Structure 1
Amino acid sequence: MTETIDADDRPQRFREGPHFPALVVTLIVTVIAALFAGAYSWAMGDPQPHDIPIGLVSDSRPAADLASELEARTGTTFIVRSYATESDAEAAIREQKVYGALVEQPDGTARLYVSSASGASVARLLQSDAPRLEESIGRTITVIDAHPLAPRDPNGLVLFYMSLAAVVIGFVGAIQTRVNAASLTLGGELFWDVVRSALGGLAIAVMVGPLLGILPLPLLPVWGVLAMTMLISGATYSFWRVLIGGRWAMLPTWIVFVLISNPSSGGAVAPELLPPFYQFMGRWLPTGATVRAVRDLTYFPDDLHAEPYIVLTAWLVVSVGLFVVVRLLRYGPGAPGESLHTWRGRRYRAPAAAEAPAAT
């Protein structure tokens, strides 16, 4: 017997059936795909340098005049800071206050210090501007890379790849743990989050450092930074999972880390070459803080900055704290059992197995 479907019931059947959520997911994925391509293309496709800080040591040339000459010839905006001696300028580069420095010498020549470790893209820009700079100041310029990159990382991208791996594996590991070990208590979830992050951070650091010899990493502190990054990423996903449900938790996690944090990190392109939005956000998001912390530990171990560690610590406390609070409010400290969130936001409990009919 063929069932007749009233045309008026079809919209309701569609909304309540499996095709409606499939349509919603398809539309969301379409939008995210466009945003993903647009975000990375906008941030890193055609980086435009602006407000690049450089130093100047000169008895005859005001910093403002040099900035004007450079901007007129290169189309790039510079912030020129005057220093009394060559040693002061080198210290400013080492402390990453400036990306380079022009030092006029008593013999009529000049030295242009750059720092590839601070930002390979900016170092290449300054080197390419050296001939035009010679014309501007009327002196022969010798380019000196004060802090070169490791020979096996000539483009300075490995720090970004390490941070990217920690972020992505951090939330992917949290997803897989929650899916395959759904009966963990709160204590069990936190325990495995810490173990997973510690082992993952160690694996990344050992692979790039001692095993492949790509970077001269100080193993223990870099391990700690990467483990913290993985834990932050996983805790952020876990918070969204208990707040809005496992089916949609990936969406805000993806937006925060993949669409905003990663392209704004300054790992692939120096912050001064990013659009203003990404340049600002990169300082306060985990990937950027991880890139800066690992860069300092690797190339500037005597001039560490507190800011990236403060950012990572704040993210760790907030992400883990929010996860624990919402997890306790929703499910208590025990296992969540079969209580789930559907894609419509309603909760249901899986029915128990049907009881056998009573004997007659």
Structure 2
Amino acid sequence: MVSNSIAVARKVVTGPNKPALIVSLLVSLFAALFVTSYSLAMGNPQPHDIPIGVVSETVTPAQLTTGLESATSTSFVVTEYATAEAAKTAIDQQQIYAALVTASGTGSGSDPSAELYVSSASGASIARIIETDATKLGQALGVTLTVTDLNPLNPTDPSGLVLFYVALASTIIGFVGAIQTRVNAGGLTLAGELGWDAGRAALVGLVVALTTGVLGFETFPFFPVWGVLAMSVFIAGAVYSFWRVAIGGRWALVPTWILFILISNPSSGGAVAPQLLPPFYEFMGRWLPTGATVSALRDLTYFPEALHPEPYIVLGAWLVASTVAFAVVRRIKFGPGRLDREVPAVPAAPAAPQSAGDAAAG
């Protein structure tokens, strides 16, 4: 019985069963990492240092901070503005998430009333926190609050998740498309690979933008959004393509999956606002492709008059770096010509020449 068990165990870890076992163990590990990463990032959002503004002659930033923190159990960073218009501009620039404007701040007398401006498009989860506790905040400050959403979300997307799903789809289809192209269209030259990567990215970006717009999920400027999505698709494919020629097609998906699925997507700020993410995810989200894509899409959709250059710089840097890295490594290891249907993990060594005796014996 024992000998049979040992024989079965040896069979499992030898021959073609060995790589199957390794893949099974890796897939199980990545399943656990997936659950852990997304649960840490989005399972229990903890708001911290949320930037808001105040326009008032009677309510100081310290009073507003105390009132908010007692009502919401959340930390805030309060900035004082001279006028309501200045505070609204800061909201539109996405410098702050909300602003309290008292009657005295607008010069309308001493009536104990105040406006609480929020921006759901900047962060639906944060706006929800502030709105939910507006009554408690008003009681703490001794004013009657009227909540106004300056940038409401599309009625078909009350949770503000569509743009995150759009970015997520572009990322996943980006590297899956690159994988399938290499598997099913072997023999492409370097120029052919880059050409099809660009064409596929443009087509996927077009289809995603059309689907989202035509079905009414979001309303946005079509051509800029198409361009952002095409960049996102291309970057994901180029990153996979780099790893494919660097370490071989057998394991190229592993680092690609780690970068995009385990780190970039949960840190993007698309499902929950950056200030609700743990510090690691909050920091990484700004500099990774999915976070930049979400930020660019949010600006184009809800803040077209206040576009920020940072997400485009980040996407541009990833686009150039991933393309150059892929092209350079590909040329060094395999040249610019056609490849076999699969890139080996290690380039095969040339066969040793046969001796005259061997040849005769053959």
Superposition TM-score, scaled by structure 2 size: 0.90
Aligned partner of 1:335 in structure 2 is 338
Aligned partner of 1:46 in structure 2 is 44
CA contact (8 A) 1:340 1:349 kept: no
Aligned partner of 2:141 in structure 1 is 137
Residues in 2 aligned to 1:281 and 1:178: alpha-carbon distance in whole angstroms:
30
Residues in 1 aligned to 2:137 and 2:144: alpha-carbon distance in whole angstroms:
9
Residues in 2 aligned to 1:150 and 1:15: alpha-carbon distance in whole angstroms:
54
Aligned partner of 1:121 in structure 2 is 125
Bigger mean CA deviation after superposition, 54-63 or 174-183: 54-63
Secondary structure at the counterpart of residue 66 of structure 2? helix
Residues in 1 aligned to 2:347 and 2:235: alpha-carbon distance in whole angstroms:
28
Give the superposed CA RMSD.
1.9
CA contact (8 A) 2:182 2:342 kept: no
Residues in 1 aligned to 2:336 and 2:347: alpha-carbon distance in whole angstroms:
22
Structure 1 position 339, deviation (Å): 6.7
Residues in 1 aligned to 2:287 and 2:341: alpha-carbon distance in whole angstroms:
37
CA contact (8 A) 2:54 2:81 kept: yes
Aligned partner of 2:254 in structure 1 is 251
Bigger mean CA deviation after superposition, 67-76 or 85-94: 67-76
Structure 1 position 280, deviation (Å): 0.6
**Residues 159/340 of structure 1: CA separation in 2 closer, same or farther (3 Å cut):** closer
Instruction: Output one character per residue of 1:216-241: Cα deviation in whole Å (capped at 9) or x when no partner.
Output: 11000000000000000000000000
**1:176-325, aligned counterparts within 5 Å?**
176-209=180-213, 211-325=214-328
Residues in 2 aligned to 1:149 and 1:14: alpha-carbon distance in whole angstroms:
54
The number of residue pairs the alignment matches comes to: 340
CA contact (8 A) 2:190 2:338 kept: yes
Aligned partner of 1:20 in structure 2 is 18
CA contact (8 A) 2:174 2:232 kept: yes
**Residues 153/339 of structure 1: CA separation in 2 closer, same or farther (3 Å cut):** closer
How many percent identity over aligned positions? 59
> Which AA in structure 2 matches 1:205?
A
Secondary structure at the counterpart of residue 110 of structure 1? strand
Structure 1 position 64, deviation (Å): 2.1
**Residues 98/349 of structure 1: CA separation in 2 closer, same or farther (3 Å cut):** farther
Structure 1 position 341, deviation (Å): 1.7
Aligned partner of 1:172 in structure 2 is 176
Residue of 148, 153, 166 corresponding to 1:149 = 153
**Residues 349/296 of structure 1: CA separation in 2 closer, same or farther (3 Å cut):** farther
CA contact (8 A) 1:226 1:290 kept: yes
Aligned partner of 1:347 in structure 2 is 348
CA contact (8 A) 1:205 1:217 kept: no
Structure 1 position 132, deviation (Å): 1.1
CA contact (8 A) 1:243 1:326 kept: yes
* Unaligned ranges ≥5, structure 2: 1-5, 105-110, 352-362
CA contact (8 A) 1:340 1:347 kept: no
CA contact (8 A) 2:90 2:96 kept: yes
CA contact (8 A) 1:174 1:234 kept: yes
Residues in 2 aligned to 1:143 and 1:71: alpha-carbon distance in whole angstroms:
18
CA contact (8 A) 1:58 1:104 kept: yes
Residues in 1 aligned to 2:248 and 2:158: alpha-carbon distance in whole angstroms:
43
**1:70-109, aligned counterparts within 5 Å?**
70-106=68-104, 107-109=111-113
Secondary structure at the counterpart of residue 147 of structure 2? strand
CA contact (8 A) 2:188 2:338 kept: yes
* Unaligned ranges ≥5, structure 1: 1-6, 351-360
Instruction: Output one character per residue of 1:293-347: Cα deviation in whole Å (capped at 9) or x when no partner.
Output: 01101110010000000000000000011000000011101012367425xx563
Residues in 2 aligned to 1:114 and 1:339: alpha-carbon distance in whole angstroms:
53
> Which AA in structure 2 matches 1:143?
V
CA contact (8 A) 1:261 1:287 kept: yes
Residues in 2 aligned to 1:229 and 1:121: alpha-carbon distance in whole angstroms:
25
